[in-house]
Structure 1
């Protein structure tokens, strides 16, 4: 596991900086739009534009990575995102916000396909959950702390947008300076929702529902906080609480998921999310601000950890050569949920008031719990496969890549996994600039 961590530190550092910028942007945009007089439905529409852009990016990402490679893809897209954030200082209409937010979604889809694919290519099934957890912990720390920066300035000025753009630009440095060879570029990769659904339906549906629920909650939480009487900085602190809870639970859940059928973890997290959504309704009505923060932390520790377990579950099942396609498909499923979710969440909030957001969350999360439990009853334990790509850190023009493919082939549902294939060497030529 330590050798795998040594090979992912640069991409983890780059993504952490990018997510620090993203976290501040998540808190800033809804508050800025609300200050400019946009309605809750308009804010939901802008959040949906992000999901639409993200889902479009999922289709473009594999071909773009194949054409330019992981490193160049990350660097060029992060630069585009930094420029788009600066353009947000001139956005004053719903259409302008939606177009810019949609462009950010498209670039982030490609970036996260790069980073998630890079990380997934470095881990075998036996420790994939922990590797993913280390990566998620670093990025969640950034997402957790950065929204608190709202208290340091005025949302009416443009300084926050310039700060976000600067940090996005800095995220290029770790990737540009890496001495570790990137994974081989994917070939012939496509988004395959139907085939992945047949292989890992719990992962596909889970990713979709995560988008349906987490998308509107993260996008509208600052507005929700203001609606229940919190100040703007305390409303932004709710995002801190969400990410803090997620951070606390990420590694323990990754460790636990490595030791059992990951679908049990998905079902338990979804069921817990439904219950805590009802808890949030109760404590927000009581006016106890500290309890509101605690309940949001618990919600984040459950709901925001589901996606990582879904990715690990799907990557256990598919062949190593399909990992990039699998990651892209799960991102597409999540993005489809994020496109629809904010519209539904904003509608529920407009119809029932602030409480509508978490009534919606409770119902949708419960539906996921029921689906995964039904899948577990139909297939007690799916067969698993795992892949690990080991790259020698080198500054040379070419490097040797050793690919390990550990295939589990149980003779019955509860049989012990049996490694099947040996390691093979593959040479990768460096791409000229």
Structure 2
């Protein structure tokens, strides 16, 4: 493992630093927005702006890379993102924040595409699964660590925004100074939503709804905390719990995924998410109940994303997987744009605790639809399913396609080993 990481440590270090800066700015939006008196619906538009930019970046960055190259695109996007983060406290108006967040989202998506292309190029078929897992862990640790950094300053000043910008700026040094090969970026054209739905209705609908859940948690969690009167440290802890749960629950859910009907596991994970949100709603302002609700509601979100990817791959042929990956990332992005808007409007219409109501309702719809789909399609035998791989919702199409290819190869290798083993037993 040490030998494996020695070849990609600079990329992983850069990703941790980027996520520290990006994770800080996500929570800062909710903290500073509350100080400035922005309404929940205004901050919802600001949040959706990020995911609109992120979705656009995923589509256009590969074209930019093909025209001017990895290094130039990477450096340019990093510069624009750093400038956008510094500009946030200088232009404290909802419309300005929305435009800046579109810019930051576009840059962040492009950074993912570029970094993941390098990471994928540095991997072999044998090491790709471990490298991608290390990459996802680095991202999650960066987001969690960012919440701790928020306790070192005051969101009412520009200091924390400047710190986030500095972290993003210095994150490119280890990557650009160590990465020498320039990989070719080849992203398959996304499958149409119609074809994707025909191939996997549960995967398509589920990942759209999950995009709504993820964007609401990551973008509106700090807004919710600010509006119910949590302190800055408590809000940082609340957001950290959303991602800490994902870090700890990923492995057991992934282990189960390779051993049972994935639709049942999707139903169970979504039900756990809905129950957790109900607890958060009922508990009111009870701090530890809120933290527990955040841990489990956030904890099932990332595994559900990987589950939907794996389940969709089970329903498609190997040659359709790259296009399906692009379609799923696009569908997730659409849900991520819509989710915060619905949540922000509901929070303003009812009260801040409607944050849990919209999240819980979305989880419940996922669970009910999974239950319905069990009655419409036969179960795929476990031995014929693709391998599960930890994959974060923030990953670009590059990583999702690479993960899909690895999962298919891994599953095929396991089936060949089982066939060879059974053949040897028969001969003996």
The bucket for the TM-score relative to the shorter chain is: 0.7 to 0.9
Where in structure 2 are there 5+ consecutive unaligned residues?
388-404, 418-428
1:145 aligns with 145
Conserved 8 A contact 1:40-1:346 = yes
Conserved 8 A contact 2:39-2:348 = no
Aligned mates of 2:259, 2:75 — CA distance in 1: 36
Aligned mates of 1:131, 1:255 — CA distance in 2: 18
Matches within 5 A, 1:359-374: 359-374=357-372
1:228 aligns with 228
Are 1:214 and 2:214 matched, yes or no? yes
2:379 aligns with 380
Conserved 8 A contact 1:222-1:232 = no
1:53 aligns with 53
Aligned mates of 1:205, 1:239 — CA distance in 2: 26
Q: Structure 1 residues 210 and 182, CA, compared in 2 at 3 Å: closer, same or farther?
A: farther
Residue 257 of structure 1 and its aligned partner are, at CA, apart by: 2.9
1:180-214 CA-to-partner distances (Å, cap 9, x unmatched) read 74653206634643444444443333332122112
Matches within 5 A, 1:12-411: 12-68=12-68, 72-115=72-115, 122=123, 128=129, 132-179=132-179, 181=181, 183-186=183-186, 189-190=189-190, 192-283=192-283, 285=284, 287-314=285-312, 325-377=323-375, 378-381=377-380, 406=409
Q: What number of residue pairs does the alignment pair up?
A: 397
Q: Structure 1 residues 279 and 150, CA, compared in 2 at 3 Å: closer, same or farther?
A: same
Q: Structure 1 residues 219 and 188, CA, compared in 2 at 3 Å: closer, same or farther?
A: closer
Residue 239 of structure 1 and its aligned partner are, at CA, apart by: 0.5
1:157-197 CA-to-partner distances (Å, cap 9, x unmatched) read 11111111111112212321335746532066346434444
Aligned mates of 2:43, 2:170 — CA distance in 1: 29
Where in structure 1 are there 5+ consecutive unaligned residues?
387-402, 411-415, 420-433
1:1-29 CA-to-partner distances (Å, cap 9, x unmatched) read 88876665443332222111111111111
Secondary structure of the residue aligned to 2:178 is coil
Aligned mates of 1:160, 1:184 — CA distance in 2: 37
Normalised by the size of structure 1, how large is the TM-score? 0.79
335-344 or 110-119, larger mean C-alpha shift: 110-119
Q: Structure 1 residues 71 and 13, CA, compared in 2 at 3 Å: closer, same or farther?
A: farther
The CA RMSD measured in Å over matched residues stands at 3.5
Residue 344 of structure 1 and its aligned partner are, at CA, apart by: 0.4
Normalised by the size of structure 2, how large is the TM-score? 0.80
Aligned mates of 1:9, 1:271 — CA distance in 2: 38
Q: Structure 1 residues 261 and 243, CA, compared in 2 at 3 Å: closer, same or farther?
A: same
Aligned mates of 2:312, 2:126 — CA distance in 1: 10
Residue 79 of structure 1 and its aligned partner are, at CA, apart by: 2.6
* Higher normalized strand content (fraction of residues): 1
Secondary structure of the residue aligned to 2:335 is helix
1:224-278 CA-to-partner distances (Å, cap 9, x unmatched) read 2233332222122210111111111223333443444544443322221111100
Conserved 8 A contact 1:51-1:105 = yes
Conserved 8 A contact 1:113-1:327 = no
Q: Structure 1 residues 161 and 261, CA, compared in 2 at 3 Å: closer, same or farther?
A: same
